[in-house]
Structure 1
Amino acid sequence: MNMLIIYTHPNHQSLSYAFLNEVILGSKENSGIEEIQVLDLYEEGFNPILVFNEKKRRRDMHKDPDLAKYRDQLRWADKIVLVYPIWWGRPPAMLMGYIDQMFASGFAYKDTGGLLPQGLLKGKSVVCISTMKGPAHYPLVWLNNAHKALMRKALFNYVGIKKVKFFEFGSMESPRGRHTIKLNKIYRYFKTVRP
């Protein structure tokens, strides 16, 4: 199994970075994971801003040469792991800008003329690991599960990825946030996970 980890946080001293390290540590001990690639969107200097003009058309985004490297990574990956904080009830703008550009028509899905498109990324699986300041049940109770609906239904199911797992860790700025237990949970999961 090939695994692509997409890390989205500007600070390498953050708790999100600690979760990234646990994903890597566990994965390196997993005989089912053949190769790991890490894409750190901030360190990469990824440009999240969409540009459409007479030279760059939306309908051609799936073949934009500036994004070829990232398309190759997504094609290569059997499992895509996203590590990010939840800010204002959703992933950071940097990650959303990556999603806007990478999950384009002609690459991630194909319009069929019907109600739903043909997903072109079938067979892959996704794990979303997110941290937030608020309590763990905040997105479910207060936001009507908007984060999971956005990621699972509006994005991944739309492009053909049906296997999506979430780790939403709340109260992460609290001294009682049980950080060590949660970090260990991620390590153990990736040590044994299968496609």
Structure 2
Amino acid sequence: MKMLIVYTHPNHQSLSYAFLQEVVRGSKENAEIEEVKILDLYEEQYNPILVFNEHKRRRDMHADPELAKYREQLMWADKIVFVYPIWWGRPPAMLMGYIDRMFASGFAYKEKGGILPEGLLKGKSVVCISSMKGPVHYPLLWLNNAHKILMRKALFNYVGIKKVKFFEFGSMESPRGKHQQKLEKIYRYFKSIDR
């Protein structure tokens, strides 16, 4: 199994970065995982801004040469792991910009005239690891699970990815947030995960 980790947090002293380290640590001890690549969107200085004008047309985005290496990463991966904080009930703008630009028609899906398109990323799986200041049930009780619905239905299912696993960790700024237990949970999951 080949695994791409898309990490989205500007601070390498953050809890998100600690989760990234546990994904890597567990993966190194898993014989099922052949290779791991990390895309750190902030360190990469990834440009999340969509630009459409007389030189860049939306319908050509799937072939934008500026994004070729990122398309190759997504095609290469069997499993894509997203590590990010929840800010204002959703992933950071940097990650949403990556999604806007990368999951383009002609690359991630194609229209076939019906209600739903044909997903072109079938066979891949996704794990989303997110953390937030609020309590763990905040997204469900206050936001009607908007984050998970956005990621699972509006994005991954739409492009053909049916196997999606979420780890949403709440109360992460509290001294009683059980940080070490949560980090250990991620390590154990990736140590034993298969496709």
TM-score by length of 1: 1.00
Distance in 2 (CA, whole Å) between partners of 1:48 and 1:173 is 27
Q: Do residues 156 (structure 1) and 156 (structure 2) align? A: yes
Any unmatched runs of 5+ in structure 1? Answer: none
Equivalent position of 1:18 in the other structure: 18
How many residue pairs get aligned? The number is 195
Shift of 1:155: 0.1
Secondary structure of the structure 1 residue equivalent to 2:19: helix
Shift of 1:108: 0.1
Q: Find runs of 4+ consecutive structure 1 residues off by over 2 angstroms.
A: none
Equivalent position of 1:66 in the other structure: 66
Matches within 5 A, 1:15-94: 15-94=15-94
Equivalent position of 2:183 in the other structure: 183
Distance in 1 (CA, whole Å) between partners of 2:140 and 2:73 is 32
Distance in 2 (CA, whole Å) between partners of 1:163 and 1:26 is 20
The one-letter code sitting in structure 1 at the alignment partner of 2:147 is: H
TM-score by length of 2: 1.00
Percent identical among aligned pairs is 82
Distance in 1 (CA, whole Å) between partners of 2:11 and 2:54 is 36
The one-letter code sitting in structure 2 at the alignment partner of 1:6 is: V
1:9-62 Cα deviation digits (max 9, x unpaired): 000000000000000000000000000000000000000000000000000000
Shift of 1:182: 0.1
Shift of 1:78: 0.1
Equivalent position of 1:134 in the other structure: 134
Equivalent position of 2:8 in the other structure: 8
Distance in 1 (CA, whole Å) between partners of 2:133 and 2:112 is 41
Aligned-residue RMSD, C-alpha: 0.2
Distance in 2 (CA, whole Å) between partners of 1:112 and 1:143 is 33
Shift of 1:189: 0.1
Equivalent position of 2:172 in the other structure: 172
The one-letter code sitting in structure 2 at the alignment partner of 1:107 is: F
1:92-141 Cα deviation digits (max 9, x unpaired): 00000000000000000000110000000000000000000000000000
Distance in 1 (CA, whole Å) between partners of 2:39 and 2:98 is 11
Matches within 5 A, 1:108-127: 108-127=108-127
The one-letter code sitting in structure 2 at the alignment partner of 1:36 is: V
